[in-house]
Structure 1
């Protein structure tokens, strides 16, 4: 099992692949799409397309495009779109998000928890700007340090992660303005981690003895241990609705 497959299974029982509740996801989409309920939405790093499928169900005149490098996740997204009855209004593309281009910009762009696919926050902002139509908005989800993390947590996540003021300062320096936002609560953060480890464990226990079962159980146990001992007390997540200058 590769890392993408483990992540796909681990996220199967959570509303989205980020520490946000159903209510928070709905509220953020409502805020972003009230300007363009009949427009075009793009999700960069869409995974199973949870965000665009939900957005399409909320707004019957909306159209959406999702881009991701994981073909299995995109197949899950197509099935979700079919169940929701929105397949005629969504297109899912298997490609590197850094290589996606479009002749027609989008009214709304999302990139929630996918900065790793662009190699960081600033490259994500740079990639999103030319994809936005005039007056368009970017819904961006980004991790940050909440307080002073222990040294071993910094080693786990690397040196690029900063605190919440640092995230906002970097966004401002790149020429973007926050117009709304949501800071994930402790309940949302914990629920996400329990779902991630629990879904993977549940899937593994249904498998016959073998390498996939063992690998999945090991990945769930290691992730849970890292969460509880290395970053639970210092990790935060913010989802911001942004507009570019100009």
Structure 2
């Protein structure tokens, strides 16, 4: 079973692929979509959950999503049809770095996809290319809440602390207009949901040839979370505007 398939199983009960609850997602979208008739773009949209929620909440909104997972895009199309928002949604099967559009966007989102550009600041560079004057970026990024072990750094990446993360963003010409630091409840709920969903699938499909691999992945990832990074890793969501366009 490939990485994309495992990710889809893991997020079956937590379709927002970040440690955010429904209220936090709604508040972040409200801050990123002040008018309600914006055109928005999601880099690495997966199953389109952010876009579907935005389209459902704002009937004059238009949205585009980009992802390399064709199966996830198929899920997004099916969900859009069910919700009756398919005419306002365009999906593109390609890497975020290769995306080009004749349109500019009032809001560019990126959650769980900054690796596609090589990190937070390169993702913001890419977002700026697609951003309309006065537009906003809604982006999520990890940070170290406490000094991490080398094992945690090797596992998750070379993040900085929250203050330094914000310093780098502002030094790059962006101004935060809203932010949310995921709570311990959100962080824990996300991890339990991901690895619990994987384990449940494996136990429900014992005859599947991938069952043992999926169960082993769930067991390993849960242990890594609890033993390596649970007490040190945090997640921040930012609504950003260019300090000057």
Q: TM-score, normalization: structure 2?
A: 0.97
Residue 217 of structure 1 corresponds to: 215
User: 1:1-246 alignment to 2 at 5 Å?
Assistant: 1-34=1-34, 36-158=35-157, 160-246=158-244
Contact 1:113 1:143 in 2 (8 A): no
Shift of 1:211: 2.9
**Number of equivalenced pairs:** 244
CA RMSD of superposed structures (Å): 1.1
Shift of 1:113: 2.1
Extract unaligned runs of 5+ from structure 1: none
Cα distance in 2, alignment partners of residues 206 and 85 from structure 1: 32
Cα distance in 2, alignment partners of residues 190 and 110 from structure 1: 23
Detail structure 1 runs of 4+ shifted over 4 Å in the superposition: none
Shift of 1:39: 1.7
Shift of 1:154: 1.8
Cα distance in 2, alignment partners of residues 173 and 139 from structure 1: 17
Shift of 1:15: 4.1
User: Structure 2 vs 1, CA of residues 166 and 236 (structure 1 numbering), >3 Å: closer, same or farther?
Assistant: same
Shift of 1:155: 2.4
Partner of 1:211, secondary structure, is coil
Extract unaligned runs of 5+ from structure 2: none
Cα distance in 2, alignment partners of residues 226 and 41 from structure 1: 35
